């Protein structure tokens, strides 16, 4: 992997013809230490957000030693990357029986989630009625406080939880309850409300619970989406957890994905054409900008020029490099009005889901990765890092 001082240096020195992913291990390390030191329980990295082995190793080295894996491929990836040092938790509520069997018998996975009696039976068959399982029953909770809903596909309703919790308690060495409030939760109230549903389920089933897993949803910072400090989320979760009728020895878990990986990487793209306020760039909906195209996510942008632009900021939309009209990112992305073909732009906060969604459709892809030393375009972990969503130029320092 190449190393460089800054995003501006990559653009002006390398002048890449294809998109370049910039990675910032120091940013991921900082996020991992933050969760390890401040979350009042155990943090599991949600591998789906960014399955980079380098990122996984960085998080592990900085205290995140448990991993939320959602497929047998992710189980294998983390096992190959870290050996048997990491604890893997198979938290997808609907799994292939063969995947459960491989995870348990070959990779030593003992933690599984479920949201139905059918899945419980499947887990017991695949593990030959093992007696050393940590089984987490997933509850359905509201996503009203989150930018992306996860309230439709998984989770047992309160009317279904009594039988399921009682049966799982009989089968499990340790019983857990888990939930997911949705992605990019913009208020700590999301977790407070969900924990109240946990309380109702515990009281209704009258079972002893060993693990409360509040899932993911912890936010990052984007244009138009500036959340309160993460400590506020942690405080709300801690208060709710402490008020539950559970054993004093119960564990508290969370599953951050976006919050641990978003600041890890960005992408440098080149403008190939300008048409009014539309910029044709060499990455897009089938690359790192899936979310920008398909759900209208806005990412911070910065023009990478050695000579600072004095032009006013204008809202631009992007077209990606493929032949599809749907390869379109509406934005608006605020850039100097004099941006033109040949200019380079850094698009930030793409460490979460950007790399994971990249395809090679239409022959447009890039494997180029450069490690840089400068700060991410925004940060929830360092007060001194400016939110550069309105920045136009990054001077080479």
CB count in 10 Å sphere of residue 123? 25
Q: Which of 104, 298, 138, 109 is nearest to 216 (CA)?
A: 138
User: 274: number of CA atoms within 13 Å, CB side?
Assistant: 16
Asked if residues 154 and 136 have their Cβ atoms less than 8 Å apart, the reply is no
- What is the rounded CA–CA span in Å between residue 119 and residue 96? 10
Annotated active-site residue 323? The verdict is: yes
CA 287 to chain CA mean position, Å: 17
Question: What are the helix and strand counts (H, E) for the chain?
Answer: 12, 19
Asked if residues 161 and 204 have their Cβ atoms less than 8 Å apart, the reply is yes
Residues in Cβ contact with 248 at an 8 Å cutoff, skipping those fewer than 6 apart: none
User: Between vectors from CA 5 to CA 303 and to CA 318, what angle results, nearest 5°?
Assistant: 25
Residues in Cβ contact with 325 at an 8 Å cutoff, skipping those fewer than 6 apart: none
Following CA atoms 235, 236, 242, 247 in sequence, which dihedral angle do they give, to the nearest 10 degrees? -110
- What is the rounded CA–CA span in Å between residue 322 and residue 264? 26
**What is the length of the chain?**
397
Active-site residues: which are they?
323
């Amino acid at each position: 992997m190449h190393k460089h001082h800054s995003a501006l240096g990559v653009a002006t020195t390398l002048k890449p013809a294809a998109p370049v992913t910039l990675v910032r291990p120091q940013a991921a390390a900082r996020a991992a230490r933050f969760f390890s030191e401040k979350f009042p329980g155990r943090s599991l990295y949600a591998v789906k957000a960014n399955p980079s082995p380098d990122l996984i190793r960085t998080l592990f080295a900085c205290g995140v030693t448990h991993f939320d894996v959602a497929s047998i491929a992710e189980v294998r990836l983390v096992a190959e990357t870290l050996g048997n040092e990491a604890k893997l938790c198979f938290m997808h509520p609907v799994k292939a029986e063969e995947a459960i069997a491989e995870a348990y018998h070959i990779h030593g996975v003992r933690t599984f989630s479920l949201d139905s009696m059918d899945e419980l039976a499947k887990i017991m068959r695949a593990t030959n009625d093992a007696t050393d399982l940590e089984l987490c029953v997933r509850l359905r909770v509201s996503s009203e406080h989150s930018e992306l809903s996860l309230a439709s596909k998984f989770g047992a309703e309160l009317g279904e939880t009594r039988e399921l919790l009682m049966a799982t308690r009989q089968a499990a060495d340790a019983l857990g309850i888990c939930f997911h409030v949705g992605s990019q939760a913009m208020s700590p109230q999301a977790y407070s409300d969900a924990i109240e549903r946990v309380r109702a389920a515990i009281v209704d089933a009258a079972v002893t619970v060993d693990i409360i897993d509040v899932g993911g949803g912890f936010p990052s910072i984007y244009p138009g989406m500036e959340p309160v400090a993460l400590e506020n989320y942690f405080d709300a979760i801690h208060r709710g957890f402490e008020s539950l009728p559970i054993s004093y020895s119960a564990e508290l878990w969370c599953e951050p994905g976006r919050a641990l990986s978003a600041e890890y990487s960005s992408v440098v793209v080149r403008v190939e054409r300008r048409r009014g306020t539309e910029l044709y760039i060499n990455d897009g909906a089938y690359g790192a900008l899936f979310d920008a195209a398909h759900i209208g996510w806005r990412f911070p942008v910065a023009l990478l020029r050695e000579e600072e632009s004095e032009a006013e900021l204008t809202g631009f939309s992007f077209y990606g490099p493929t032949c599809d009209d749907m390869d379109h990112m509406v934005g608006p992305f605020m850039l100097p009005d004099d941006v033109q073909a040949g200019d380079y732009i850094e698009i930030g906060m793409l460490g979460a889901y950007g790399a994971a969604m990249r395809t090679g459709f239409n022959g447009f892809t890039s494997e180029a990765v450069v490690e840089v030393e400068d700060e991410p375009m925004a940060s929830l972990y360092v007060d001194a890092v400016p939110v550069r969503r309105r920045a136009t130029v990054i001077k080479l320092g």
